[in-house]
Amino acid sequence: MTSTSTSIEEGSVLLITLDSCRFDTFRRIKPRLLSAVGKLHRAMAPSHFTYGSHAAIYMGFLPSVRPAKAYLNSKYCKLFRIEFGGSIGKSEAAFALDGGSIIEGFRNKNYITIGSGAASWFNPQTPTGKKLSLDFEKFYYPGTTWQLRDQLNWIEEELRKTSGRPVFILLNIGETHVPYWHTGASWSKEDNPCVPFQKKNRRRECWHRQGECLKYIDSQLGPILNRFSNETIVITADHGDCWGENGLWEHGISHQKTLEVPLLARLNGIPL
């Protein structure tokens, strides 16, 4: 990836969660721009649903790889570590933070903290959304799950206002969440192929549609990935989905496929 003309302060961080994106979807699609961030790792998420996983990420517990590797396993060595936030691990964290969350910790280090969450869990008008958005200086909930372009436009406007301070950005992307739809898709977003307890096997539609949504996401992220190419980027998912494995569908259940997620990262421009 190459940098754009618009500069980002050294030390800035971009954290993207592809909501519900399965590891095998990412591995199969191999999205070009996202894959350029670094090596694709198979990681295990800290929870099987959006709120639980993001709450853990806010405490510095990212999805983790096995066997353990520095910065890619939160028990071994955290990328982001809050003081008093769990065991110190085997070596120093890349970002040592002091606060009630990593967002507050970055704010305490004079970062501008910018967040946007597509999943309804992030709606600031709800009690859960207040908890997930409160620590950000700037936060945007687009209103529906499928508005990546609006999220990116809003983030771009906020970045234009920044000057002289590094930024921490959390971007939760909803297109890979059920019902797997994106702007311009050839199928209706009213048709959800992944419904809990369904009897009809629609695995093939799930497989196809989440993959197409990931391709769409990749087509939209070029400018922001270029902007952060020399900084720290984390691309992961908060959880996966079941597509009929053991008779299970969707997420919110503990299963290998709801915990197995992609993880790609670069630290200060160096792929991990």
Decide if 19 contacts 51 (C-beta within 8 A): no
Structure tokens at 215: 């391709």
- For residue 85, what pLDDT is reported? 63
Confidence of residue 4 (pLDDT cuts 50, 70, 90): very low
Q: Which range among 2-6, 72-76, 254-258, 262-266 shows the weakest confidence by mean pLDDT? A: 2-6
Checking if the pLDDT of 3 tops 90, the result is: no
pLDDT digits (tens, 9 = 90+) for 25-43: 999 999 999 999 999 999 9
Report pLDDT for 7: 79
* Mean pLDDT value across the chain: 95
pLDDT digits (tens, 9 = 90+) for 116-148: 999 999 999 999 999 999 999 999 999 999 999
On the question of pLDDT at 164 being above 90, the answer is: no
Backbone angles phi, psi at 155, to 5 degrees: -60, -40
The tally of CA atoms less than 13 A away on the side-chain side of residue 95 is 27
pLDDT digits (tens, 9 = 90+) for 48-100: 999 999 999 999 999 999 999 999 999 999 999 998 867 777 878 999 999 99
At 6 the pLDDT is 57
pLDDT bin (cut points 50, 70, 90) of residue 255 is very high
Domain 13-271 in CATH: superfamily? Answer: Alkaline Phosphatase, subunit A (3.40.720.10)
Q: What is the pLDDT of residue 89?
A: 74
The CA-based diameter of the chain, rounded to the nearest angstrom, is 56
Indicate the pLDDT class of residue 5, thresholds 50, 70 and 90.
very low
Spatial separation of the C-alpha atoms in residues 154 and 3, rounded to whole Å: 20
3 state SS for the chain: CCCCCCCCCCCCEEEEEECCCCHHHHHHHCCHHHHCCCCCEEEECCCCCHHHHHHHHHCCCCCEECCCCCCCECCCECCEEECCCCCCCCCCCCEEECCCCHHHHHHHCCCEEEEEECCHHHCCCCHHHHHHHCCCCEEECCCCCCCHHHHHHHHHHHHHHCCCCCEEEEEEECCCCCCCCCCCCCCCCCCCCCCCCCCCCCHHHHHHHHHHHHHHHHHHCHHHHHHCCCCEEEEECCCCCEECHHHCEECCCCCHHHHEEEEEEEECCEEC
pLDDT at 63: 98
